[in-house]
Amino acid sequence: MALGYKIMIVEDDQTITEVLGRQLERWGYTVCVPGDFSQIDREFLKEKPDLVLMDISLPYYDGYHWCEEIRRISLTPIIFISSAGEDMNQVMALHMGADDFIAKPFSMEVITAKIQAVLRRAYAFGGDKNVLRAGGAVLNLTEAALTFGGKRTELSKNEFKILQVLMEHPDSPVSRDVLIERLWETESFIDDNTLTVNINRLRRKLAEVGLSGFIKTRKGLGYLVEEER
């Protein structure tokens, strides 16, 4: 059973979109398609799908770009569907955060089975695609807020990004260079002290809700949060 999942089809070939849409609706899924290919991220936020089928070749920006943009705001599963099925395209898609890759032409049986498998992995245990959890803390990705022990704290843009990166990789140190790249997304020189200031400010805010020591320093490696405290 499809259990009412909504699937967004980001594909500019209308024939493929219509055929896919009809098949998925037969299986009980709700289907939506973007009305503006230059604003896929906004369409995503408006529709709030449970899974995205993404082509690589699209008007304005390619599927890799939109996959990366969606990953900045959500962990919603993304499956690439593309005639560009070479290994490097598949590697690139997975590197950008996709959950699977299906090469065209594909059979409806294969794509339906892949969708079911990805949805099962993502939601079978009642997981919420819009939150990250670690050490008893819950980070809401849509509201940029952290909850712990019944206390909630609002986060600034930089504080939210720091926690998002660390909680996406619990128990694994994240280097300062990676954090700087995610925070400022520029190759311009950023004073290393600026990151330290942001980390310290975030640590003080976390301490106020009972999360002293939540962000740990690993000398020479970076920062981490632990999945279990």
Which domains, from first to last, does the chain contain? 6-123 (3.40.50.2300), 131-224 (1.10.10.10)
171-177's contacts with Cβ under 8 Å and 24+ in sequence apart are 171/224, 171/226, 171/227, 172/224, 173/218, 173/221, 173/222, 173/223, 173/224, 174/222, 174/223, 174/224, 175/221, 175/222, 176/222, 176/223
> Do 141 and 130 form a contact (C-beta atoms < 8 A)?
yes
Q: What is the pLDDT of residue 212?
A: 92
* Residues 35-50: b if buried by 16+ CB within 10 A, e if exposed: eebeebbebbeebebb
Tell me, yes or no, if the pTM score tops 0.85. no
Q: What is the pLDDT of residue 1?
A: 41
pLDDT per residue as tens digits for the range 89-144: 777 777 777 888 888 777 888 888 888 888 877 775 555 557 788 888 888 887 78
Chain position carrying tokens 């032409």:
105
For 142-158, what is the mean pLDDT?
86
> Do 135 and 226 form a contact (C-beta atoms < 8 A)?
yes
What is the spatial distance between Cα 109 and Cα 114, in angstroms, rounded to a whole number?
9
Inform me whether the pLDDT recorded for 70 exceeds 60.
yes
For 38-44, what is the mean pLDDT?
90
Q: What is the pLDDT of residue 190?
A: 63
Inform me whether the pLDDT recorded for 208 exceeds 70.
yes
Place 207 in a pLDDT band, splitting at 50, 70 and 90. very high
